[in-house]
């Protein structure tokens, strides 16, 4: 299935959204590390996997989708959709998304999610789940606009810069 689209963002920049290739692995790691270094959007402090493992995951086209947003040959956004591995829950996939600061609020996340939903439907995935920090209100609003609903909240699940933050569990049925 062809998963490529071009997105013209507000300032005239053209963003290519496409399925990741093994050659994108280092760019994906750099994007994750860039967002993780902010300390307020993703759980980890840095990406812990190695390039070989990431390339293997990118090539697993039946169970995992990696989409990249590319500007000037640089990965500026990553979306992962990982199918659960057991027979009883392989109709469910877990979504993760990271977009570097200068490219947020320009429609990239929305476009990547729309593209991922196409793949999920083709793969027989019926439910997409995600977790988001309660402090990331922009993301929560976007997820709601995309049809996600809050399924639960894990109170004080994280401590960021000395402050407790809830973990918001959201899901969308396709």
pLDDT in tens, 80-126: 999 998 999 999 999 999 999 999 999 999 999 999 999 999 999 99
The answer to whether residue 19 is domain-embedded is yes
CATH of the domain at 121: 3.40.630.30
Q: What is the pTM of this model?
A: 0.90
Domain count, the chain: 1
The answer to whether residue 162 is domain-embedded is no
Q: pLDDT, tens digit, for every residue of 52-61?
A: 888 888 888 7
The answer to whether residue 174 is domain-embedded is no
The answer to whether residue 22 is domain-embedded is yes
CA dist., res. 90 & res. 127, Å (int): 9
Q: What percent of the chain has pLDDT over 70?
A: 95
CA dist., res. 116 & res. 65, Å (int): 7
Strand partners, 94: 82, 129
Range of the domain at 11: 5-130
Cβ(149)–Cβ(27) below 8 Å: no
SS3 167: strand
The answer to whether residue 173 is domain-embedded is no
Q: What percent of the chain has pLDDT over 90?
A: 72
The answer to whether residue 137 is domain-embedded is no
């Amino acid at each position: 299935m062809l998963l490529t689209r071009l997105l013209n963002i507000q300032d005239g920049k053209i963003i290519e959204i496409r399925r990741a290739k093994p050659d994108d692995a280092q760019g994906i790691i750099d994007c994750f590390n860039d967002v993780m270094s902010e300390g307020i959007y993703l759980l980890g402090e840095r990406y812990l996997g190695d390039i070989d493992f990431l390339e293997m995951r990118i090539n697993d086209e039946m169970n995992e989708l990696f989409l990249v947003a590319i500007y000037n040959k640089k990965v500026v956004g990553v979306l992962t959709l990982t199918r659960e591995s057991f027979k009883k829950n392989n109709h469910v996939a877990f979504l993760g998304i990271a977009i570097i600061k200068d490219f947020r609020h320009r429609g990239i996340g929305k476009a990547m999610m729309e593209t991922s939903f196409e793949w999920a439907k083709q793969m027989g995935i019926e439910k997409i789940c995600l977790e988001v920090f309660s402090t990331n209100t922009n993301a929560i609003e976007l997820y709601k606009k995309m049809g996600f609903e809050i399924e639960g909240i894990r109170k004080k699940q994280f401590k960021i810069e000395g402050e407790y933050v809830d973990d918001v569990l959201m899901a969308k049925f396709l």
